[in-house]
Amino acid sequence: MAPTISHFVILAALLLGIGAAGVLLRRSGIAILLGIELMLNAGNLALVAFARQHGNLEGQVFVFFTMAVAAAEVAVGLALLVAIYRRQQSIDVDRLSVMRW
């Protein structure tokens, strides 16, 4: 028995949920970025699965673009974290509320 598309989508959903939980529950900036990476990867997996299902390459090309965007996002996100850390010696995002009312 070969895995069908449902298996891959279920795996993608689980990874997405775990990533979302990481983003929402962790207070460390780095953990949040990691969660986002995980969510993006889950999306990629679903895209490839659907591309396979429909029998064309569009989904794979899209994944490639997603990877590039993720790379850009990580670069900027990490640069932000470094800048924040320099400013207040911490990357706890709950302390990032200086712009609050």
Partner 1 sequence: MLNLLWLVLAFPLAGTCLLLAGARRLGHRATAAIGVGSAGLSLLVTLGALVSYAGMHGEVVTQTLYRWIAAGNFTVDLSLRLDSLSAVMLFFVTVVGFLIHVYSVGYMHDEAATAYARYFAYLNLFMFAMLTLVLGANLLVVFVGWEGVGLCSYLLIGFYFEKDWCAAAGKKAFIVNRIGDFGFLLAIVIAFKAFGTVDIAGLQAAMAADPEAAGRWATVLAVLLFVGATGKSAQLPLYVWLPDAMAGPTPVSALIHAATMVTAGVYMVARTSFIYALSPTALLVVAVVGGVTAVFAATIGLAQNDIKKVLAYSTVSQLGYMFLGAGAGAFAAAIFHVFTHAFFKACLFLGAGSVIHACGGEQDMRKMGGLKSHMKATYWTFLVATLALAGIPLFAGFFSKDEILAKVFAAGVGNLHGYGTVYLGLWGLGVVGAFLTAFYMFRVVYMTFHGEYRGSAEQRHHLHESPGVMVWPLRILAGGSVVAGLLGVSKAMVFDWFDSNWFEHLLHPVAPAVTVGHHVSLGVEWGLIVLSVGVAGAGIWLAKRFYFGPEAGAVPARVAAAWPRLYRTVANKYWVDEIYDATVVRPTNRLAWWLWKGLDTVVIDGVLVSLAFFTEIAGDLLRFVQTGNVRNYALMVLGGAILAAAWLLL
Partner 2 sequence: MVMTVFVVAAVLAIVSALVAVSHRDPVINVLSLVVTFFCVAVNFALLGANFLAAAQILVYAGALLVLFLFVIMLLGAPQAPESGLHRPVQKTAGLALAAIVIIGGVLLALTMKVLPPASPVTGDAREIGKAMLTTHAFSFELISVLLLAAMVGALMLVKRKH
Decide: is 46 part of the binding site for partner 1 (CB under 8 A). no
Report the sign of the C-alpha dihedral through residues 80, 25, 20, 63, in that order.
Answer: positive
Q: How many residues are given for the chain?
A: 101
Decide: is 6 part of the binding site for partner 1 (CB under 8 A). no
Decide: is 47 part of the binding site for partner 1 (CB under 8 A). no
Residues 4-43: x/- map of binding to partner 2 (CB under 8 A)? xxxxxxxxxxxxxxxxxxx-xxxxx-xx-xxx-xx--x--
Separation between Cα atoms, residue 51 and residue 60, nearest integer Å: 7
The site for partner 1, by CB under 8 A, has a size of 13
Separation between Cα atoms, residue 20 and residue 28, nearest integer Å: 14
Q: Using CB under 8 A, list all residues that contact partner 1.
A: 20, 23-24, 27, 32, 93-94, 96-101
